Amino acid sequence: MMETATIAETAGEPLPERDSAGERRCIVTRASAPRAGLIRFVLGPDGTVVPDLAETLPGRGVWVGAERGTVETARAKNLFSRAFRAAAKAPADLADRIQHMLVERCVALIGFARRADRIVFGRDPVRAAVAAGQVELLLAAADSDGRDAADLAARFAGERSTVLTADEIGAALGRSGIVHLGLKPGRLAEALARELRRLEGFRAPPESSSAPPARAHRHKD
């Protein structure tokens, strides 16, 4: 089976030069949309539908909106076979696989940004960087209690994301949990923002009730 390309496989150049704003047509909605909001798929040698998040795998590609429900509709209605004009086997857990891959890409990009000295993390350092206009993308952990995140959000006019957990953010930094993280302006911030937006389409909110996330208070910057 064809191996799915990950951002780690292109560590020397994690950010493709190609314009992600070029439009493609979703095989479910039949509407054209910027590539940044779609997922590309190719067929593996065995006819398995393979997500191509990096848009680098060879072969004819088809595109689906970056949302769990849209991908599940494409699978359930066998729209991949119709689009590829060939027998296409879409795994039952295709949307879950994409979510996992997107988390991996986000963590990898944060790691690249750390090594390039393009991040700041921790409540007070991030607050200072926001005040100085040095942050393009602001992350707050999905499982934090939200008080400090709300205070930072009120001070920040740029793009914000709350889709990653504290442990997922921390994994990129070799720490147990990071609640606040800011990316400095540049291509890495733009690339991470795209992946976070795509991930948001696959990940449900951290809680569906009014109860707070279990032990959210344990995460400290």
pLDDT at residue number 91 = 97
pLDDT at residue number 157 = 87
CATH, residue 60: 3.30.1230.10
Return the SS3 of 213. Answer: coil
> What total number of domains does the chain contain?
2
What are 153-174's pLDDT values in tens digits?
A: 788 889 999 999 999 999 999 9
Contact 106, 129 (CB under 8 A): no
What are the DSSP E strand ranges found in 35-158?
Answer: 38-43, 49-51, 62-65, 119-121, 137-140
Query: What integer is the mean pLDDT of 17-41?
Result: 86
What are 53-69's pLDDT values in tens digits?
A: 999 999 999 999 999 99
Is residue 56 located within the same domain as residue 125? no
What are 85-131's pLDDT values in tens digits?
A: 999 999 999 999 999 999 999 999 999 999 999 999 988 999 999 99
Would the pLDDT of 147 be above 70?
no
For residues 144 and 124, what is the distance between their CA atoms, to the nearest angstrom? 16
User: Domain limits at 202?
Assistant: 97-207
Q: Model's pTM, two decimal places? A: 0.83
> Which residues, including other chains, have CB under 8 Å from residue 104's CB and lie 6 or more apart?
6, 7, 8
Is residue 177 located within the same domain as residue 116? yes
Average pLDDT, the chain: 85
DSSP secondary structure letter of residue 7: G
Contact 63, 41 (CB under 8 A): yes
Q: Is 174 exposed, middle or buried (0-12, 13-18, 19+ CB in 10 A)?
A: exposed
